[in-house]
């Protein structure tokens, strides 16, 4: 028998058959690979969505009233007021722009606002200003009231 021939044919024929077999195997397995990758990415994106939703979960909204010292506007929708000597930044809407425009830095004010925290990041405090005014004659300005049982002092 010739050295280049054996039971399966020549070496060249063997290589061709092996290449064809390898190509067919790859072609047959490709659809299953895409399904596995797709299901992994879907489960990964679902987990990421659940994680994001959990991270954005907030504590119950608390309505609070306090007196403090007006420090000025931080930007077009954020005001800073010093309460208990600590700065408190509050978001506000268009309705309060005229009330804030009349104030000067250092004015004593009485404010009502809502406070909320993220469950998984209690250091982040979200405050929205509901109303702000200068105290009336004879009104005590050091009193702080809370509509919830928590302290108004920043934690």
DSSP assignment of 52-115: HHHHT-BPPPEEEEEEEEEEEEEETTEEEEEETTEEEEEE--GGGHHHHHT--TT-EEEEEEEE
- Under 8 Å between Cβ of 67 and 53: no
Task: Please list the pLDDT of the chain residue by residue as tens digits (155 residues).
Answer: 555 555 556 777 888 888 888 887 777 776 665 565 666 666 667 776 766 666 678 888 899 999 999 999 989 899 999 998 999 999 999 999 998 998 999 999 999 999 998 888 878 888 999 999 999 876 665 544 444 433 444 43
Query: Would you say the pTM of this structure is higher than 0.85?
Result: no
| DSSP code of residue 136 | P
Return the pLDDT at 14. Answer: 82
What per-residue string of b and e applies to 79-90 under the rule 16 or more CB within 10 Å gives b? bbbebeeeebeb
Secondary structure of residue 10 in the 3-state scheme: strand
């Amino acid at each position: 028998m010739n050295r280049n021939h054996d039971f399966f044919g020549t070496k060249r024929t063997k290589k061709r058959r092996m290449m064809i077999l390898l190509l067919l195997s790859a072609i047959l397995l490709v659809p299953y690979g895409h399904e596995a990758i797709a299901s992994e990415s879907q489960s990964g994106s679902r987990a990421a969505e659940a994680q994001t939703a959990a991270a954005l979960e907030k504590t119950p909204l608390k309505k609070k009233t306090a007196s403090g010292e007006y420090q000025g506007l931080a930007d077009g929708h954020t005001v800073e007021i010093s309460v208990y000597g600590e700065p408190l930044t509050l978001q506000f809407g268009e309705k309060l722009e005229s009330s804030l425009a009349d104030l000067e830095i250092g004015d004593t004010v009485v404010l009502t606002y809502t406070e909320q925290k993220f469950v998984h990041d209690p250091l982040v405090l979200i405050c929205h200003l509901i109303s702000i005014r200068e105290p009336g004659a004879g009104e005590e300005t050091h009193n702080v009231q809370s509509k919830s049982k928590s302290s108004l002092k920043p934690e």
